Structure 1
Amino acid sequence: MKKLFLLILLVLSITTTVQLPSTYAHSNNSEGYSMIEVTDHNINYELKVDLAELGHAMNQELDNQQLFNTKIVQNYINSRIELYADSIKLEGTIERSGVETISNKQFAVMNLTYELGDKPQKLVLNYNMFLDDSDPSHANYATVTFDGEQQEEVLTFESRELEIGEMNFVQNVLQFLLLGLKHIFTGYDHILFVISLLFGIKTIRNTFTLVTAFTIAHSITLALATLDIVHLPSSFVEAAIALSIIYVALINIFNPDSKHQPWLAFAFGLVHGFGFAGILSEMRLDASHLATSLISFNIGIEIGQLVIVAIVFPILLWLKTLTFKPSKWVIPGASVAILAFGFLWFIERAF
């Protein structure tokens, strides 16, 4: 019994003399400081947080050298600090970093830059450093300088968001209209699907019914997904979009004289609508402009679709008027190429 007592004393004496690494030197009530300045072309963000707490939250010991050389810290910050300029989410890049002593504590100092296309009218900061990871009592003292206006806020577990500025109606409409146009013209899978549908047209009326059915369908699911009424995994949606391309391409190859039905455009339009909503899910839509943003984005997509139809449809009609009927091999040949892209996208997205 005496030996056991002596052993316990020995263990206690060792644990009281050995210091834990700073990685695990968790300190409640840690503090942070944010100095944010919005300029015409970028946002400069000086972030100061307790160095030991940062290491504890990331489960690794950090020093000055690591702050300079690793991108792990940058990725961690971008995953915990969400910065939106006119609803568009930005990614920060650490330009400089170091260690500073404040009130006898070491603070990690990171100077981040967020690139801007144009100077925004509204800025939203969503701050989650440490709050869900290691220290719910963490507080960050934020100062934002934006368009001659300065706003200060204490960001805590209960109050994590800071908003400054206001986006006007006209800018909101133009922004989401152009975003919809950009999305359709850079969404090559959507473009190939629309072209595949056009391969099966017979008349102008048939074109109108197909485009209308596709538009109504994707408008429905775009709204449902954006409003978070219906949610599907993005991997499933993207793979299903690839399958829609494969299906229509196979019809065009093995039955090039078939007439695509509106129900086909409507059914696959429902799937493509979830794909269109993907970009909006990454944004922070202003509640006061939600309907306007959604409608403007959808109109942008429709304008893009009409441009594609206006280019492809006359070419197809012209090919069908030629005496040697090149459409007999052009449509199946192009459909084989589209089929190959569809298969590649499906394999990439499904596996």
Structure 2
Amino acid sequence: MKFKWLIMTLAIAFLISFPPVASAHSNNSEGFSKIDVEGQKINYNLQLDFIELSHAVGFKIDEQNVENLEELNNIITQNKLPLQEYISTHISVYADSIPVESTINQTSVLKIKERAFADITLSYSVNKALESLIVRYNVFFEDSDPSHANMAKVHIGEKQQEFIFTYEVRELNIGEMSFFTSAKQFLLLGLKHIFTGYDHILFVISLLIGAMTIRHILSLVTAFTIAHSITLALATLEIVQLPGKLIESAIALSIIYIALKNIFQPESNHAPWIAFAFGLIHGFGFAGILAELHLGATHLATSLLFFNVGIELGQVLIVSLIFPTLIFINKRLSYKWFLPSVSTAVLILGCVWFFQRAF
């Protein structure tokens, strides 16, 4: 009996430990870079999570009230000098191996995926047309968020290149990144996205709770994978675009539905069509990062493929860890208490996410 209550307590504590935030992807801050080299000028459009930027630079803001973009615009304008200093010391640009200084031309605040982002336009002047460009990026990594990732798109002449700045990879050298380096970066980005996408993980776990055979597991995972791969591609290719608030709210509703089904129909296994239907919604959620990057046609297929492979590898790892655990619990204990207890915790968290995202 003591063992039963210990397992139940640990399971519920694990589930409610997921951050109940408006977006389940917001624990690891994101950034976007667009670098254009035009003759003797380098234009750099930098977009950074505003709350994370406030931590790094020292803006004083009310983190619970970041809906007033006009107020945030005033804050970033008033802090232009410390912002310039921060960028100058955390982003280094070398034109033909010669360091060049940045100038902030314009700042504003905009919404990306329902979050406030600082939109900063930088310029760098050089003496001649460039043959090589090196960017060393160290924003947030050491001072506020080691898990930060910045998706960069670079245009230099006729060349376009996509790159991801991470804690482990902080330097971009135009012309030196191989196909395998690019593929590895997007694969790791997919892995990171699934492991920090707590809502996606919770949905998959809830599906697995009702499945006790490998064949059933494979049918659910396959249906979910096919569905989210379809909408991931459609959203990244900008064929189908849906509001981020709608998608995030629908993902929360998918968790609520599965939790309710586990509570009131515990003997009814989830059908693959349910996994497929909700997988279509989750695919739009997966596409958020790639859609914002606006990948060029040259590297789009590769980036999309390996990002999706990363998601699938992460999903396989999650299933491989969770399924044996469920089998162990089923053999040692009765599902009569375990399923409703865990599903109730999932239901509560799904409701919290839904109300935070929808209203």
* Fold in common (TM above 0.5): yes
What CA distance in whole angstroms lies between the structure 2 residues aligned with 1:198 and 1:239? Answer: 22
Aligned-pair CA distance for 1:294: 0.4
Asked if 2 retains the 8 angstrom alpha-carbon contact of 1:201 and 1:207, the reply is yes
1:143 alignment partner AA: V
Which deviates further from its counterpart, 279-288 or 330-339? 279-288
Aligned-pair CA distance for 1:326: 3.0
What CA distance in whole angstroms lies between the structure 2 residues aligned with 1:287 and 1:204? Answer: 39
Aligned to 1:84: none
What CA distance in whole angstroms lies between the structure 1 residues aligned with 2:195 and 2:155? Answer: 34
Aligned residues: 232
Aligned to 1:330: 338
Question: Secondary structure at the residue paired with 1:244?
Answer: helix
1:143 aligns with 2:151: no
Asked if 2 retains the 8 angstrom alpha-carbon contact of 1:237 and 1:274, the reply is yes
Aligned-pair CA distance for 1:170: 0.6
Aligned to 1:122: none
Aligned to 2:194: 184
Percent sequence identity is: 53
Superposition map of 1:30-109 within 5 A: 71-72=76-77, 93-95=83-85
1:306 alignment partner AA: V
What CA distance in whole angstroms lies between the structure 2 residues aligned with 1:163 and 1:347? Answer: 45
Name structure 1 gaps, 5 residues minimum: 1-32, 38-59, 61-68, 78-91, 97-110, 117-126, 131-139, 152-160
What CA distance in whole angstroms lies between the structure 2 residues aligned with 1:162 and 1:227? Answer: 19
Residue in structure 1 matching 2:156, options 131, 138, 163: 163
The alpha-carbon distance between structure 1 residues 295 and 74, as it changes in their structure 2 partners (threshold 3 A), is: farther
Aligned-pair CA distance for 1:169: 0.5
2:275 alignment partner AA: A
Superposition map of 1:113-132 within 5 A: 113-114=89-90
Aligned-pair CA distance for 1:327: 2.2
Asked if 2 retains the 8 angstrom alpha-carbon contact of 1:143 and 1:150, the reply is no
Question: Secondary structure at the residue paired with 1:246?
Answer: helix
1:291 aligns with 2:284: no
Asked if 2 retains the 8 angstrom alpha-carbon contact of 1:316 and 1:327, the reply is no
Question: Secondary structure at the residue paired with 1:282?
Answer: helix
Aligned to 1:207: 217
* Deviation readout 1:222-264 (Å, 9 max, x if unpaired): 0000000000000000000000000000001111111000000
What CA distance in whole angstroms lies between the structure 1 residues aligned with 2:260 and 2:308? Answer: 29
1 or 2 for the larger relative contact order (CA 8 Å, sep ≥6)? 2
1:346 alignment partner AA: F
The alpha-carbon distance between structure 1 residues 144 and 317, as it changes in their structure 2 partners (threshold 3 A), is: farther
Aligned to 2:167: none
Aligned to 1:348: 356
Question: Secondary structure at the residue paired with 1:229?
Answer: coil
1:226 aligns with 2:236: yes
* Deviation readout 1:273-309 (Å, 9 max, x if unpaired): 0000011122242432211110100010001111110
Name structure 2 gaps, 5 residues minimum: 1-39, 45-69, 93-102, 107-122, 135-153, 158-173
Aligned-pair CA distance for 1:73: 6.3
Q: TM-score of the superposition, structure 2-length normalised?
A: 0.57
What CA distance in whole angstroms lies between the structure 1 residues aligned with 2:250 and 2:205? Answer: 17
The alpha-carbon distance between structure 1 residues 112 and 255, as it changes in their structure 2 partners (threshold 3 A), is: same
Question: Secondary structure at the residue paired with 1:232?
Answer: coil
2:337 alignment partner AA: W
What CA distance in whole angstroms lies between the structure 1 residues aligned with 2:286 and 2:356? Answer: 19
Residue in structure 2 matching 1:339, options 337, 340, 347: 347
Q: TM-score of the superposition, structure 1-length normalised?
A: 0.59
